[in-house]
């Protein structure tokens, strides 16, 4: 009998000056492992933390994954603005949205909230070049992405593939 995949707790890494370290409790879903941070960090620091834990900021590859993450995030949000960084940015070139793996955003798999992205410069004159997701009330149409200044601390979603072990798939 096949044991279902699981995501055990990742031990807390040793601290360093370059990345914020935290204990990670990975959640299994869709053949991947996800970590929903409780720490508020800039987009770059969030990405560094994900990489330190063996993953990266999440790249959303399907409508199924967006639906899964939207439901998780909705239930983890504490207040309206309590959103989560994902691995999408246009830092290199305005309006050219690129995932952390270097691939371009597939416009048929984009889930922008109405009026987004809007590159508002109110909080940061440099504009909004990183993407966060979530709506406290939920998004029936799954459209819950917002561009935001990369320097405004948010929570984040890390992902890594589940590793196949001898008896079960695990997140290591």
pLDDT digits (tens, 9 = 90+) for 7-32: 444 444 443 333 433 456 999 999 99
pLDDT for residue 163: 76
pLDDT digit string (tens) for 37-49? 999 999 999 999 9
Spell out the domain ranges in the chain: 36-170
Contact 14, 169 (CB under 8 A): no
The answer to whether 23 and 10 are in contact (CB under 8 A) is: yes
Percentage of residues in the chain having pLDDT higher than 90 = 77
Topology at the third CATH level for domain 36-170? Mannose-Binding Protein A; Chain A (3.10.100)
Task: Give the span between the Cα atoms of 49 and 41, in whole angstroms.
Answer: 9
40 is written with which tokens? Answer: 């508020």
- The β-bridge relationship of strands 168-170 and 3-6 is parallel
Q: Which residues pair with 161 in a beta bridge?
A: 32
Round to whole Å and give the CA distance between 53 and 41: 15
Rounded to an integer, what distance in angstroms lies between the CA atom of residue 71 and that of residue 69?
5
- Report the distance separating Cα 11 and Cα 14, nearest Å: 9
**pTM for the structure as a whole:** 0.84
């Amino acid at each position: 009998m096949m044991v279902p995949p699981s995501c055990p707790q990742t031990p807390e890494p040793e601290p360093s000056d370059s990345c914020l370290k935290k204990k990670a409790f990975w959640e299994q879903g869709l053949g991947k492992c996800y970590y929903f941070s409780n720490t508020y960090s800039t987009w770059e620091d969030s990405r560094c933390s994900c990489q330190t834990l063996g993953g990266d900021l999440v790249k959303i590859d399907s409508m199924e994954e967006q639906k899964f993450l939207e439901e998780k995030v909705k239930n983890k949000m504490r207040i309206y603005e309590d959103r989560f960084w994902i691995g999408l940015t246009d830092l290199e070139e305005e309006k050219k949205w690129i995932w952390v793996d270097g691939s371009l955003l597939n416009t048929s798999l984009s889930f922008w909230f109405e009026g987004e992205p809007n590159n508002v410069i109110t909080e940061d004159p440099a504009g909004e070049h990183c993407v966060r997701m979530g709506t406290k009330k939920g998004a029936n149409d799954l459209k819950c992405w917002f561009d935001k200044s990369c320097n405004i601390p948010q929570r984040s979603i890390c992902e890594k593939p589940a590793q196949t072990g001898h008896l079960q798939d695990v997140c290591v």
